[in-house]
């Protein structure tokens, strides 16, 4: 397993996106916990969750509670595992997502998340999405207060622009450690945010990193996917999965990159974790770049 720096500590270069374990089409709890345990067995030390990762109304924190139960039930050492959670979004139970990043809400949400995770302080707390009804500086200011109060040890921002990253960095200083935006072979709009993260020494956690190769959990069983891409052709040459090729490509794009692919089966995260041992050579990287969609 390769390691990269996040929240001033070394974490596995591939994390586990735990969202599929709690939202629509989620597995039963036995398989969900087995998936977390498979991640840990593979050397994964970063688990990404959020209070809004649930399916039905009244289930706020479902995923955080599940992750906490899985860690408690694991037979090995979990002291090096960093659980990163997020606040600022909601799910009313009808399939939609809401945004609520008012300072009072974020502070209460962080305290509730810490309680569900069973920790005195959250290792990494991320503002899930800017709220158009709340000035950005006020939402980020709530993270500053959470840091100062010791409720969280490090802060991150998600779904943000370069200007929002810079403003958050001015407010949070060294307390800001990560950016989590969508980034994949199919969606590379956040290239400027990735490069800014590099310059500022922030980790970049791409969400939906397998876009264009695998369905997102939010797409459901009928969601779009691709076959026959350059990633699939290289995977056949290397005798590995296309998902491993994508993750290896992401890791090669930047030392700041720490993908957190979602998984709902033990085999999926075990395969994803194996991408850290896959090295793409210069020719392969060049060929992939040539054939990426515009």
pLDDT digits (tens, 9 = 90+) for 65-121: 999 999 999 999 999 999 999 999 999 999 999 999 999 999 999 999 999 999 999
* pLDDT at 227 exceeding the cut of 70: no
Residues 70, 79 contacting (CB under 8 angstroms): no
pLDDT at position 222 is: 44
- Active-site residues, by number, are 53
Rounded to an integer, the average pLDDT of 218-247 is: 78
> Percent of the chain scored above 90 by pLDDT?
88
Tell me: the pLDDT tens digits for 239-253?
Answer: 999 999 999 999 999
Higher model confidence: residue 231 or residue 229? 231
Tell me: the pLDDT tens digits for 179-202?
Answer: 999 999 989 999 999 999 999 999
| pLDDT tier at 226, thresholds 50, 70, 90 | low
Rounded to an integer, the average pLDDT of 262-279 is: 96
Mean residue pLDDT of the chain comes to: 93
* pLDDT at 221 exceeding the cut of 60: no
This prediction's pTM: 0.93
Rounded to an integer, the average pLDDT of 286-291 is: 83
* pLDDT at 219 exceeding the cut of 60: no
pLDDT at position 289 is: 83
Bridge partners, 125 (sequence order) = 85, 155
Rounded to an integer, the average pLDDT of 157-174 is: 98
* pLDDT at 223 exceeding the cut of 70: no
Tell me: the pLDDT tens digits for 18-40?
Answer: 999 999 999 999 999 999 999 99
**CA 5 to the chain's CA centroid:** 14
* pLDDT at 288 exceeding the cut of 70: yes
Higher model confidence: residue 226 or residue 131? 131
């Amino acid at each position: 397993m390769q390691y990269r720096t996040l929240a001033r500590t070394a974490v596995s270069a591939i994390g586990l996106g735990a969202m599929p374990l709690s939202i629509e089409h989620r597995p039963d709890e036995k398989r969900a916990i087995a998936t977390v345990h498979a991640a840990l067995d593979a050397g994964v030390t970063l688990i990404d969750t959020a209070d809004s990762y649930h399916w039905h109304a009244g289930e706020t924190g479902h995923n955080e509670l599940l992750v906490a139960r899985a860690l408690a039930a694991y037979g090995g050492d979990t002291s090096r595992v960093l659980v990163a959670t997020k606040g600022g979004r909601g799910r009313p139970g009808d399939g939609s997502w809401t945004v609520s990043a008012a300072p009072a809400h974020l502070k209460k949400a962080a305290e509730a998340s810490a309680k569900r995770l069973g920790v005195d302080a959250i290792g990494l707390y991320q503002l899930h999405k800017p709220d158009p009804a709340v000035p950005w500086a006020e939402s980020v200011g709530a993270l500053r207060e959470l840091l100062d109060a010791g409720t969280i040890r490090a802060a991150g921002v998600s779904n943000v622009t370069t200007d929002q990253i810079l403003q958050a960095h001015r407010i949070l200083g060294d307390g800001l450690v990560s950016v989590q935006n969508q980034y994949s072979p199919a969606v590379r709009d956040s290239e400027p945010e990735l490069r800014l993260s590099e310059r500022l020494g922030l980790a970049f956690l791409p969400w939906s990193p397998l876009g264009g190769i695998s369905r997102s959990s939010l797409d459901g069983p009928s969601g779009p996917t691709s076959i026959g891409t350059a990633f699939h052709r290289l995977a056949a040459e290397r005798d590995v999965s296309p998902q491993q090729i994508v993750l290896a490509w992401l890791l090669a794009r930047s030392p700041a990159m720490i993908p957190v692919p979602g998984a709902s089966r033990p085999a999926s995260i075990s395969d994803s974790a194996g991408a850290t041992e896959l090295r793409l050579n210069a020719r392969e990287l060049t060929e992939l770049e040539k054939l990426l969609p515009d």
